[in-house]
Amino acid sequence: MTQVAERAEAAWERYEATGDDHYLDSVALNLHDVYVGGERLFEDIARRVDESVPDGPHGHQELLDQMSSDIPSTRPPVLSPGTRRQMERYQGFRHVVRNVYAAEFDADQIEPLIRRLPAVCEAVTTELAAFADTLEQTAAEGA
């Protein structure tokens, strides 16, 4: 996640310096990949821990809901409400990337996402690590 985020930030810097839309395309695709990478981790948690992965037309939204929910006797929330809200913005952008032509990417839409990206990646990484620690502690107590 962090490496892809760094690629997005580097491409944004080049876009700002040159105005070349090819760099904007790169930023968009890397922002998409940051979200998709996080979503894959969330799906693994849903599959392995919750034993239930949302599906259907609202599956992506339901997955974020699931990751920010406490599941009694199974696990605490994976994501805080604030991090969940931030990830929702990237999820929406993922939809844009998959459904518009590259020529239609809007730098004004992308800029707030790229500016927040380091903090969002840090929050997701920190919260996933805390969740992993909780799982390890629970496993140790059960052994």
Chain-centroid distance of CA 17 in Å reads: 27
Q: Nearest-CA neighbor of 121 among 30, 17, 11?
A: 30
Domains and CATH numbers, the chain: 2-142 (1.20.120)
Q: Residues 88, 64: contact at Cβ < 8 Å?
A: yes
Q: Tens-of-pLDDT digits for all 143 residues of the chain?
A: 889 999 999 999 999 999 999 999 999 999 999 999 999 999 999 999 999 999 998 999 999 999 999 999 889 999 999 999 999 999 999 988 988 766 689 999 999 999 999 999 999 999 999 999 999 988 887 65
